């Protein structure tokens, strides 16, 4: 095993950004373009990114981003030379290293500009240590990626693991204790990923099929049983109108949606995972394949 893989066994992938972190690090807070990762309640790393405007010069873009970040994060940024022997496997990345200081803490950081996807990312570490060769910070930076691989975007947060075509955009998300939901959209196709837990408690008085019907009352027909890598699955496939009784009127049938919903109880992680695909064209079983409960 590679040294960085041993030290950083956990992947965090959110909205196009992905990086490897130590096992004990967890997401403290997130939004569409921001990640705060901590360990035992102490912040370890903050990542903030933005897409470049259509027309820009790198120098002006950097200056604007730095000044905005200084105001928003209430920090002072001081440029630093690139650490000796630092290199990154993605050649499209340009690094601008800095040190930062706020009223209560200080650390090192870097701005990463990707010439391929024109994304600018600010990464700041909350430890006083330098980003030297073989340091934890350098290994995390080396694992950093910001664009899709083979046209697919990887997602890996709070036990949810899936990939989808890069055309899908984050529509909404909710991470409430006991229920996580991520919704992605591409044109009229909607992909929704669910995670409920703790599963043993939720399924103590009901079956998986009944649980699914309680949580998603719009499920129609009978569920078909199957198997995936995480356990036994139940899958519903049905066509439904945009509103109640819409299928009675034939001219409204072109607005109806094909829905596939698959659910499984993952005993190892004590969670119930679900994935739903609504599509105007056909049953999109292919989109299930990239998820943690895709086909074996």
Per CB under 8 A, 296 contacts other proteins: no
Burial class (CB in 10 A: 0-12, 13-18, 19+), 212: buried
Min dist CB 24 to other proteins, Å, is 9
Q: Which one of residues 2, 41, 54, 251 is an interface residue with other proteins (CB under 8 A)?
A: 41
Q: Binding string to other proteins for residues 20 to 39, with x set by CB under 8 A, is what? A: ------xxx-----------
Q: The tokens of 267 are what?
A: 């005993």
Smallest distance, other proteins to C-beta of residue 158, A: 6
What is the distance, to the nearest Å, from the Cα of residue 150 to the centroid of all Cα atoms in its chain? Answer: 17
- Beta-strand runs (E) in the chain: 10-14, 17-21, 26-31, 34-39, 42-51, 76-79, 93-101, 106-114, 119-125, 152-157, 160-165, 169-176, 179-186, 189-196, 224-228, 231-240, 257-266, 271-279
87-121 in b/e burial notation, b at 16+ Cβ within 10 A? Answer: ebeeeebebbbbbbeeeeeebbbbbbbbeeebbbb
Please, which residues bridge with residue 78 across strands?
99
Binds other proteins (CB under 8 A): choice among 61, 95, 97, 158: 158
CB 96 within 8 A of CB 110: yes
| Distance in angstroms (rounded) separating the CA atoms of residues 118 and 139 | 23
- Residue 174 near other proteins by CB under 8 A: no
Is the CB of 10 or the CB of 118 nearer to other proteins? 10
Residue 205 or 244 having the CB closest to other proteins: 205
Does residue number 177 form part of the binding site for other proteins (CB under 8 A)? Answer: yes
Establish if 42 lies at the interface with other proteins (CB under 8 A): yes
User: Is 118 in contact with 52 (CB distance < 8 Å)?
Assistant: yes
> In the stretch 115-154, what mask flags binding to other proteins with x, by CB under 8 A?
----------------------------------------
Q: Does 216 bind other proteins (CB under 8 A)?
A: no
Give yes or no for residue 204 binding other proteins (CB under 8 A).
Answer: yes
Residue 9 touches other proteins, criterion: CB under 8 A: no
Other CB atoms within 10 Å distance of the CB of residue 52: 16
- What is the Cα–Cα distance from 159 to 195, expressed in whole angstroms? 8
Q: For residues 145 and 271, which CB has a smaller minimum distance to other proteins in the complex?
A: 271
Question: Using the rule CB under 8 A, is 189 a contact of other proteins?
Answer: no
Residue range at the interface with other proteins (CB under 8 A); choices 40-48, 113-121, 138-146, 243-251: 40-48
φ and ψ at 286, to 5 degrees? -60, -35
Q: Which is nearer to other proteins, 102 or 270 (CB)?
A: 270
One character per residue 271-290, x = contact with other proteins (rule: CB under 8 A)? x-------------------
- Which window, 85-93, 118-126, 206-214, 267-275, contacts other proteins (CB under 8 A)? 267-275
Query: Where do contacts with other proteins occur on this chain (CB under 8 A)?
Result: 26-28, 40-42, 158-159, 177-178, 197-198, 200-201, 204, 269-271
């Amino acid at each position: 095993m590679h040294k960085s893989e041993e030290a950083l066994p956990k992947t965090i992938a959110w909205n196009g950004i992905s990086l490897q972190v130590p096992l004990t690090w967890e997401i403290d807070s997130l939004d569409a373009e921001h990640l705060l990762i901590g360990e035992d309640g102490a912040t370890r790393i903050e990542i903030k990114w933005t897409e470049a405007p259509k027309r820009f010069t790198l120098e002006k873009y950097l200056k604007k981003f730095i000044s905005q970040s200084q105001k928003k994060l209430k920090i002072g940024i001081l440029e630093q030379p690139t650490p000796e022997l630092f290199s990154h496997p993605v050649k499209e990345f340009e690094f601008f290293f800095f040190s930062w200081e706020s009223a209560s803490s200080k650390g090192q950081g870097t701005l990463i500009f990707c010439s391929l996807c024109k994304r600018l990312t600010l990464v700041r570490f909350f430890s006083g240590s330098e980003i030297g060769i073989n340091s934890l910070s350098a290994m995390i930076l080396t694992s950093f990626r910001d664009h899709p691989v083979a046209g697919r975007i990887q997602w890996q947060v709070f036990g949810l693991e899936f990939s989808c075509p890069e055309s899908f955009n984050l529509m909404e998300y909710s991470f409430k204790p006991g229920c996580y939901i991520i919704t992605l959209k591409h044109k009229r196709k909607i992909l929704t990923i669910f995670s409920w837990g703790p599963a043993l408690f939720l399924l103590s008085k009901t079956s998986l099929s009944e649980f699914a019907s309680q949580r998603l009352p719009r499920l129609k027909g009978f569920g078909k049983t199957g198997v995936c890598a995480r356990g036994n699955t139940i899958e519903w496939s049905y066509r439904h109108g945009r509103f109640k009784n819409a299928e009675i009127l034939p001219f409204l049938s072109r607005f109806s949606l094909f829905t596939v919903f698959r659910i499984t109880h993952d005993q190892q992680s004590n969670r119930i995972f679900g994935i739903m695909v609504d599509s105007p064209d056909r049953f999109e079983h292919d989109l299930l394949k990239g998820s943690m409960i895709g086909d074996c």
